[in-house]
Amino acid sequence: MKNRLPFILTIIIGVLILWIAPLIGQEDQASLILDLKRARAAYEIAKQTFENDQMLFENKAISENQYNQSRNEFLAREVDYQKLILRVMAQQSYIIVEKAVKYQTASGQRHVKVTLRSTMEGNQEYLSQFEEHFDIFTPEMRSNKIYNVFVSLINIEDKTIIGSPYEIRVPSIDLGQTAVADFELLRDVESLQISLNYSGRTDQKNIYLQKDASANIVDINSTQFSQEANLGSDATFDLTLERFSASDDVYRLLVLNLPRQISAEFIDSETGARLSQIKFTQGVNTRRLSLRTYLPDRDDENVVIDEPIVFYAFVLSAEQEELLGDTRNRIFDQSELEDIQGGRVKLELIPRGVGLIEIQAPTLYHEIRSGEEVEMTVTIKNTGTRRLDNVRIYTDDPLGWRSVIEPDLIPSLEVEEESIVNLTFTPPSDVGIGAQEVKIRTEAMAENRLIEAPDKTVRIQISGRTSLMGTAILIVFLIALVVGIVIFGIKLSRR
């Protein structure tokens, strides 16, 4: 029971606050009415006194100093009275954010147009009881204007200002009328906080931005709009699609002005699915895709190494796609591209050549005897798509071996060009019998990049040197043995 007591007291206090708060508000309003009545009475007395003193001053019954004091008192009571009524009206006047629309200019800049409205809706009945006091206001004061409204856009996450200009001052807004504050977005966001500062109060509202549906388009952007890729590889462009439309239409994805040798496909960044069209679900205005391009293995007149290829990715409505017709193998000029109504982004792809070295040899296995050397040839060929410079050939020899390479440096090799290199491997005089391996290495430079070829391993089998004298004696011995056997066989057969 003791543990539940603080909880019960908290509930009772909360209920009392909810019950007392409206009463406090009502007492404030009642006090304001009484203050207004007292100010009205003081104003009426001061006015009547001033009018009497004015007549007396005209008849020279009072001094000028007395007359001025009476007038100043009257003006002071009038100002106090007006200030109190303005306070009443200011408490009931407020600014609402009617709309906050995000749109894009022709130059691609993101803007937010904030529409503000001055209103007293719901408070007219309360203000009607003060109408009898409004007779002392000038026409300008009766317009119920709210003056000096300061507006700024704030990022919800880090509370930094993300609108340019940082703050806009609206001089005044008439009751029931609207005013517009137009900002350039310094950071592209879907929602933000609008800060209003007016009449000594600060009001902040978190707003989810509307999209400008006047142009039924989907904007498309890429942070990696220019890329390099080697021939035979692929390049992927990131794409961000943002809908500026109120409809749920299906939009078509197209790539224009890309050479036919280069294929392309749109890929959903989340699922990896290949897409040709896209639809935004309700409440989702941004999608992320990828555009993957595949380069051919060889260059030609349309795909030239180191020359940028400019093409476009489009997001179009079905009607716009039908107007374009068949876009395959068609190159659009700049004026035709400008006439296409839809979201587009300009992309750039720079093909780069690849340096590749291939070592070709008739055989990589040799058998020699002690004291002999190996002579062989290899063919160095550029199998890449870029010229090779300073092609160097060298070997890793076993201990005591000596290699001679002619030539050991080739100044350059064009694409598909080859050169023959002679190699001689000489073992030491005391080489042992068995197998030895020599590695042939090749490296070159292509566009200031080091290119290395896979190593080639030459296997050399070494056998011992044979003595000629011993061989001759062995042959004579074998011949004698054979002759002796024949003679012995003849004698044996005659017996």
State pLDDT tens for residues 427-459.
988 888 888 899 999 999 988 888 888 899 999
Please report, for residues 405, 410, 434, 478, the alpha-carbon distance to residue 440 in angstroms, rounded to integers and kept in the order given.
10, 15, 20, 46
What span, in angstroms and rounded, lies between the C-alpha atoms of 75 and 90? 22
* DSSP E strand boundaries for 155-200: 163-164, 168-173, 178-185, 191-198
Taking the C-alpha atoms of residue 117 and residue 101, their distance in angstroms, rounded to an integer, is 15
Q: Supply the CATH classification number for the domain 217-352.
A: 2.60.40.1510
| pLDDT band at 243; cut points 50, 70, 90 | confident
3-class SS at 100?
strand
Q: What are the backbone dihedrals phi and psi of residue 458, each rounded to the nearest 5 degrees, phi first?
A: -95, 125
User: In whole angstroms, what is the distance from residue 376 CA to residue 373 CA?
Assistant: 10
- Count helices and strands (H / E) in the chain: 6, 29
Q: How far apart are CA 289 and CA 125, in angstroms?
A: 55
241: exposed, middle or buried (Cβ count in 10 Å: 0-12, 13-18, 19+): buried
Q: How confident is the model at residue 301 (pLDDT cuts 50, 70, 90)?
A: confident
CATH architecture of the domain covering 32-92: Orthogonal Bundle (1.10)
Stretch among 208-212, 307-311, 320-324, 351-355 having the lowest mean pLDDT: 208-212
Statement: residue 167 has pLDDT above 90: yes
- Rounded to two decimals, what is the model's pTM? 0.56
Q: Using CA atoms in the order 154, 155, 161, 162, what is the torsion angle rounded to 10 degrees? A: -110
H or E element at residue 281: none
**Same fold across 217-352 and 357-463:** yes
Nearest to 386 by CA among 447, 443, 333: 447
User: For the chain, what are the domain ranges?
Assistant: 32-92, 94-211, 217-352, 357-463
- Rg of the chain over all Cα atoms, to the nearest angstrom: 48
State the DSSP code for 161.
B
What mean pLDDT is predicted for residues 113-137?
Answer: 62
The answer to whether residue 489 scores a pLDDT higher than 90 is no
| Token pair belonging to 26 | 């009502």
CA 65/CA 228 separation, integer angstroms: 91
CATH of 94-211, one of 3.40.50.150, 3.40.1280.30, 2.60.40.150, 3.90.1150.10: 2.60.40.150
Are 288 and 239 contacting, i.e. CB atoms less than 8 angstroms apart? yes
- Asked whether 231 and 261 are in contact (CB, 8 A), the reply is no
Give yes or no for residue 381 having a pLDDT over 50. yes
Find the mean pLDDT for residues 354-377.
88
- What 3-state DSSP class applies to 422? strand
Indicate the pLDDT class of residue 220, thresholds 50, 70 and 90: confident
Residues of the chain with pLDDT > 90, as a percent, come to 24
Sole residue written with tokens 């503000």 = 116
Does 417 score more than 60 pLDDT?
A: yes
Report the alpha-carbon distance of residue 88 to residue 198 in Å, rounded. Answer: 15
**Domain 357-463: CATH superfamily, name plus number:** Immunoglobulins (2.60.40.10)
**Reported confidence tier of residue 2, pLDDT bands at 50, 70, 90:** very low
Residue keyed to tokens 């982004």: 345
